[in-house]
Amino acid sequence: MTGLNLDKRKYIIGLVAILIVIVYLLRLLSLQIMSDDYKRNADSNAFLKKIQYPARGLIMDRKGRLLVYNEPAYNIMVIMQEQLGVDTLDFCNTVGITKEQYIERMAEIKDSKKNLGYSRFTPQLFMSQIPAKEFSVFQEKLFKFKGFYVEKRAIRHYATTCAAHVLGDVAEVSQLDVDSDEYYRPGDYIGKLGVEKSYEKDLRGVKGMKIMLRDVHGRIKGHYQDGQFDRVPEPGRNLTLGLDRDLQALGERLMRGKLGSIVAIDPQTGEVLCMVSSPTFDPHLLSGPDRGKNYQKLYANPMKPLLNRAIMGQYPPGSTFKTSQGLTFLQEGIINTHTAYPCYHGFRYGRLHVGCHGHASPAALAYAIQTSCNSYFCWGFYHMMQAKRKYGTVNNAMNRWKDYMVSMGFGYRLGVDLPGEKRGMIPNAEYYDKHYRGSWNGLTVISDAIGQGEVALTPLQIANLCATIANRGYYYIPHVVRSVEGRPTDTTYTRKHYTMVEEKYYNYIVDGMRRAVLGGTCKGANLPGLDVCGKTGTAQNRGRDHSVFIGFAPMNNPRIAISVYVENGGFGAHFAVPIGAVMIEQYLNGHLSPSGEKRAAAFASRTIGYGTRQR
Amino acid sequence: MVQDNANGQKSLLRSIDVITIVIYLLLIAAGWISVVGASYNYGDTDFLDFAARSGKQLTWIVCSFVLGLVIMLTDDRIYDTFANVIYVVMMGILLVTPFIATGTKGSYSWIHLGPVSIQPAEFAKCATALALAKYMGSYGFNLSNPRHFIKAVAIVVLPILLIILQRETGSALVYLAFFLVFYREGMTGSVLFIGVAVIVYFVFGLRFDAEAMPHTLTSVGRFTVLLLIWLFTAVLVFRYSRNRKELKWIVGIGVLLTGGAWLISRYVKPFDISWVQLALCVGVIVYLVVESLRQRFPRLALIAVFTLGSLFAYYSADYMLNNVLQPHQQKRVRVLLGLEQDINGAGYNVRQSEIAIGSGGLYGKGFLNGTQTKLKYVPEQDTDFIFCTVGEEHGFVGCAVVLVLFLCLILRLIYLAERQTFAFGRIFGYSVLSIFLFHVFINIGMVMGLTPVIGIPLPFFSYGGSSLWGFTLLLFIFLRIDAGREKYRR
């Protein structure tokens, strides 16, 4: 009876089995076909994209001599899981640390609060950037230290100790770098100063990528698809600088014990031949494992060695500025080449008196340049400001004057290929309106005419003024990098920038500067056979005067234009002129004559005492 | 006598069920490929090396073929005759196992005999099935007699208790499969039905509580449970109603209301369509009560009670879990039900196995190309979670083939069981297929995140000799009994 009824139950049991299979097939459909999430999850689980670091580009000087290159350094890595039973004492002796340091470091690694992403199974950084020499000792014993591995990284090495400011340095990226450029990952290196920073994109190259398979513990199990999706890294581009290594080294030697800057430019190309900022430092200090410590020390130094004074220092140019004034007055027709102004120990107007030193009076332009006559340029400036018929108001005159200055590369950044350039200061009418509440005239601001007052230039701008005069009216934007391997030179650096002054007027200034060397303020720069033209400057400030010099040579085919700025060096002729002369000789002759060498040695050992109070 | 024997041998060869043998061989082959894939390490080349798991498994497979052959050569009557002896001996072994076993992963179920380890619990299933078949197939047995029923249940419960003593709860739960046999043999279906219904409400309702249905404000869990309550009610009406005219109304209005609600939510304004479903269920209850009174047919009222009870069970469980229990208690319940991601425990395993299966796509990544299983993201990947390897390397197609093969096996076994001359053979057959069904249901459901994580192997796939031999033993004893049935028909 019940048998008949129960017979149907086989269908129900069969149906249950069929239903289960159908439900499971639907679930499979939703897992495997409807959703991509699982696939993505699986990939991020299993693929470890291992970055292959490209070699950073090398840096050479203008003659192809190596300045910066890469040296292998080794990071010692440890996998905690495997690191058991290591002879700690032997290990510590080999890598040169104490047992306490070892224990402390191990504790740091295990502390997942400090060491984010810690895993017992993956390599952790134990010591970073062991130099190759020390590493070779460690490597011999590596087999004894189970669980310790090495990771090869490159650190920057320097063939010379000079040009730290220009070359710059490389350090680990900051969080900001990582956020602003997706190229970087934490732990990558990036240029922080100098050309390392400004040419970062050329130097860094293109990272490669290896796709590895990683197991659940993070252990590497091999290449994905035999490496067919891997990418080989492209090395960074090499840089050739305009810098002359010998000239740079000499400049730094000459500036030893003094604050200031030497900038030399090749006027025919705009390439920076040397850029000395004193005090300087050994670039090795900012490379390798002690970078942070050394950086702090340099940063705290009251003499500010990290400051690149050549582009960041803003100084009154003093009398070197008179060249630009003469040019402006000539072009504007305020004076002609025969105009002469009286000078009896200075410029006198009412109660105003700008002092001058003894020389014949009245003076014409070339003679005024030769003798650096304050009175002459004050009169010229005064007449320009008072030329109501020409300009209408003093404001217009002032702004006209400012336009001339800007056309010569003052008041704005020149655009050198280094980070941190300052713009200097060229006042305009609005500035004085604000400053003097509208009540000012040519006399109020007369000191602008002799490179004092509100005028401030960087040593690079002063050198560029000199290059402009050497070129008789144009300049190229100064740049430290001559060429980048594998890419054309940037056209910004090959375009001539003309000033507002015609070429013919420049010849009078050149004449004056030549006469200054032959028989004027910078006789000390008279190098036989090199036809040097020069102009001194003695810039007043709160302390002792700054000693300034600009010069170029040879007169008719200039190959070097230089500015020397020695803080608190006194008269231009005291420090700046002889230093500039030695530099010119070195560059044009390729070496120093015995007398030049003697002079160089003498100046290298002369120091100026700076009280920290003045800083 | 001799002739009889020769006749017997001849007919034996003819009467072995070839279809089952073929399915068995296919499953064994697919299983071995999966073990190779799951236990493969990068760089391995020799799958046949006994040191590797793939090589060992091949040895177990050959052994099980020998085992199957030996069983086919035995006399079919010995199983009937010695069923009780086998059962008693097996229970004895189970009893001593925890005392002589060395604990692995908190379980005391493995006996080490030299180089091999054996898990007696895998063989106890077979012994229990034999004993149960013998007892229930004996003359005069009547399941509706409570004493008989309790005795039958006791045969099943004894090994459950002994296996729980070994801390192998998963293996013990497998014996619940025998309730399907009781059902086939006359246990009232409502016991099974209500039990299954309640479990389904809980699992679906809680598992998919947080997932929203597309285009509605309803959770998938609530929608599914209310749909099931309505569906179960309809099935019961279909089963027990006299003229089934109620069915038309229940199904017609149900489809209309639910479908309409979904369309409005989809195209007019999204709303929580579970309220419509709830109203539908309440309407059905009222309708059934009214009809029951009108027709003087109390069964309809009982169905209404079932529907009401279902609603009550679901809503009260939902309310209890969300409002009465403390958060940590809620978590414990969810983890116990396999519903919560317990990152360090079962939840992690299931998440990883879902990723592995899901990453396989339609055709899979190809043999030995699975990354998740090769790189050990999936735990227990060559034993309990072996289906992941099938999913990752052979994709939806591979999984579907395996599922359909298992379905064919079970349906074929139902057919074979039903054609048995004696109750002994039928009951044993149902025991075998119920055990297979339970293993497949729980194991594959577990790796896909549908059933709770209960550590039981997938027949013929999971690595390990004991489980493979256990399943082979079950299948071939039944095939041997089936092959012998001809003798009695003549």
pLDDT in tens, A467-485: 999 999 999 999 999 999 9
Give the A:B interface size as CB pairs under 8 Å: 123
CA distance B367 to B390: 9
Q: Which residue of B has its CA nearest to A19?
A: B407
User: Residue B437 domain-assigned?
Assistant: yes
- Give how far Cα A455 sits from Cα of A368, A424, A437, Å: 20, 8, 19
pLDDT reported for residue B335:
59
Interface of B with A in 365-384 (CB under 8 A): 371-372, 374-377
B218 & B295 share domain: yes
- Give how far Cα B468 sits from Cα of A461, B93, B378, B461, Å: 89, 19, 22, 8
User: Residue B154 domain-assigned?
Assistant: no
The domain of B130 spans: 2-144+356-489
Q: Could you tell me the fold of the domain covering A68-155?
A: Penicillin-binding protein 2a (Domain 2) (3.90.1310)
Interface of B with A in 84-113 (CB under 8 A): none
Report how many domains make up chain B: 2
B395 & B316 share domain: no
pLDDT reported for residue A62:
93
Indicate the residue of A9, A25, A213 with minimum beta-carbon distance to B400: A25
B272 & B371 share domain: no
Interface of B with A in 386-415 (CB under 8 A): 391-392, 395-396, 399-400, 403-404, 406-407, 410-411, 414
pLDDT > 80? residue B49: no
B319 & B363 share domain: no
Partners of B435 on chain A (C-beta within 8 Å) are none
Give B83's strand partners.
none
* Position B346 confidence tier, pLDDT thresholds 50, 70, 90: low
Interface membership of B465 toward A (CB under 8 Å): no
Partners of A18 on chain B (C-beta within 8 Å) are 407, 411
pLDDT in tens, A369-411: 998 888 999 999 999 998 888 898 999 999 999 999 999 999 9
User: Residue B139 domain-assigned?
Assistant: yes
User: Residue B180 domain-assigned?
Assistant: no
B117 & B210 share domain: no
B65 & B12 share domain: yes
Interface membership of B354 toward A (CB under 8 Å): yes
**Nearest-CA distance from B360 to chain A in Å?**
6
**A245-280+308-607 has which CATH code?**
3.40.710.10
B385 & B478 share domain: yes
Interface membership of B252 toward A (CB under 8 Å): no
Residue numbers in chain A where pLDDT is lower than 70 = 1-5, 44-50, 112-122, 214-221, 225-228, 611-615
In chain A, where does the domain assigned CATH 3.90.1310.10 lie?
47-65+159-241, 68-155
pLDDT reported for residue B323:
74
Burial per residue of A61-79, b for 16 or more beta-carbon CB atoms within 10 angstroms, e otherwise: bbeeeebbbbeebbbbbbb
Partners of B437 on chain A (C-beta within 8 Å) are 16-17, 20
Partners of A221 on chain B (C-beta within 8 Å) are 42, 374-375
B363 & B328 share domain: no
* Position B1 confidence tier, pLDDT thresholds 50, 70, 90: very low
pLDDT in tens, B179-200: 999 988 888 777 777 777 887 7
pLDDT in tens, B455-483: 789 999 998 888 999 999 999 999 999 98
B380 & B473 share domain: yes
Where do we find the tokens 């560059």? Answer: A587
- Identify the CATH homologous superfamily for domain A47-65+159-241: Penicillin-binding protein 2a (Domain 2) (3.90.1310.10)
**Nearest-CA distance from B392 to chain A in Å?**
9
pLDDT reported for residue B12:
64
pLDDT reported for residue A423:
93
Instruction: Indicate yes or no: CB of A43 within 8 angstroms of CB of B359.
Output: yes
Q: Which of A463, A93, A87, A561 is nearest to A261 (CA)?
A: A463
**Nearest-CA distance from B289 to chain A in Å?**
27
**Angle formed by the axes of helices A88-95 and A132-141, nearest 10°:** 160
Substitution target from B407, B416, B419, B431 for chain A, most A beta carbons within 10 A: B407
Partners of B189 on chain A (C-beta within 8 Å) are 9, 12
pLDDT reported for residue A220:
67
Interface membership of B435 toward A (CB under 8 Å): no
Q: What is the dihedral of CA A159, A162, A167, A170, to 10 degrees?
A: 70
User: Residue B52 domain-assigned?
Assistant: yes
Report yes or no: A405 and A426 within 8 Å, Cβ to Cβ: yes
**Angle formed by the axes of helices A394-407 and A322-332, nearest 10°:** 120
pLDDT reported for residue B444:
93
CA distance B439 to B460: 11
pLDDT reported for residue A3:
47
pLDDT reported for residue A178:
79
User: Residue B169 domain-assigned?
Assistant: no
* Position B337 confidence tier, pLDDT thresholds 50, 70, 90: low
ipTM of the complex in this document: 0.79
B204 & B285 share domain: yes
B405 & B366 share domain: yes
Interface of B with A in 174-233 (CB under 8 A): 180, 183-186, 189
Residues contacting residue A401 through CB under 8 Å, at least 6 positions apart = A328, A381, A384, A385, A448
In chain A, where does the domain assigned CATH 3.40.710.10 lie?
245-280+308-607
B26 & B120 share domain: yes
Q: Which of A552, A486, A63 is nearest to A268 (CA)?
A: A552
Q: pTM score > 0.80 for this model?
A: no
**Nearest-CA distance from A109 to chain B in Å?**
23
pLDDT reported for residue B232:
87
Q: Which of B303, B336, B369 is the last residue of a domain?
A: B336
User: Residue B64 domain-assigned?
Assistant: yes
Indicate the residue of A29, A37, A45 with minimum beta-carbon distance to B372: A45
**Nearest-CA distance from B36 to chain A in Å?**
18
- Give how far Cα B98 sits from Cα of A170, A242, B102, B120, B160, Å: 66, 85, 8, 11, 14
In this prediction, residues B294-315 reach a mean pLDDT of 87
**Nearest-CA distance from A270 to chain B in Å?**
59
Q: Which residue of A has its CA nearest to B403?
A: A21
Least confident of A69-73, A504-508, B327-331, B344-348: B344-348
